[in-house]
Amino acid sequence: MTTLLLADDHVLLQDGLKDRLSRQPQFSIVGTASDGECAIEKTLALRPDILLTDISMPKKTGLEVLNTLRESAPDVKVVILSMHSNKEYIMAAMRGGAKGYVLKDVSSQELVQALDIIAGGGSYFSAGVSETLLEGMNELENKEHDDSQPTPREKDVLILIANGACNKTIARELDISVRTVETHRLRVKKKLGVTSTAGLVKYAIDQGWIDQEESH
């Protein structure tokens, strides 16, 4: 049995979550909270397996709750359930040690699946969250890398471009979105000061990443 504490300042949503999740035999709802301070107090008192919390709440935000519990209750798995899909919130949740980030527009079935995975020791991020998270991690990688040189992921994209792969093929090969491929392509062009695919191919050949014959 996985014990859950639900924190959300919207009573109607909280009641709906409680009703839906309490129907699952593997879950036991041990409490609810309508603000961040209450969420911390009840988590420390009840020690649920999982705290499912919104971000936008009175007194303390879900992210503040997460950061507090990381120190005072590291055994409790914190899962963010939010309408916010912007990069800043998602990256902050990751840095705070959240075990999951689920958007409020997912189906109740997906939420149950997410909680089951997290209860089993895994982590879960909604599809839209995963894409944003990947972009954020790529940006961090870029900051740590020499700005004048392609990052390892940009190199992967560049090699595939030089071998004649289209954006859709590259996305499939690297398990990323076409939009992310396009972002990498534009970023590499800017770094290398080239304006065409031919320029990218020439750079890959000059670096010895591919044979000139393979590029034809």
**Residue type for position 137:** M
Q: What is the pLDDT of residue 85?
A: 76
pLDDT digits (tens, 9 = 90+) for 23-57: 989 999 999 999 999 999 999 999 999 999 999 89
pLDDT digits (tens, 9 = 90+) for 63-114: 999 999 988 999 999 999 988 877 788 888 888 888 988 888 888 888 898 8
Number of H helices, E strands in the chain: 10, 6
Q: pLDDT tier at 127 (50, 70, 90 boundaries)? A: confident
Name which residue leads in pLDDT, 182 or 131.
182
DSSP output for 20-51: HHHTSTTEEEEEEESSHHHHHHHHHHH--SEE
Say which residue the tokens 């979105």 belong to.
177
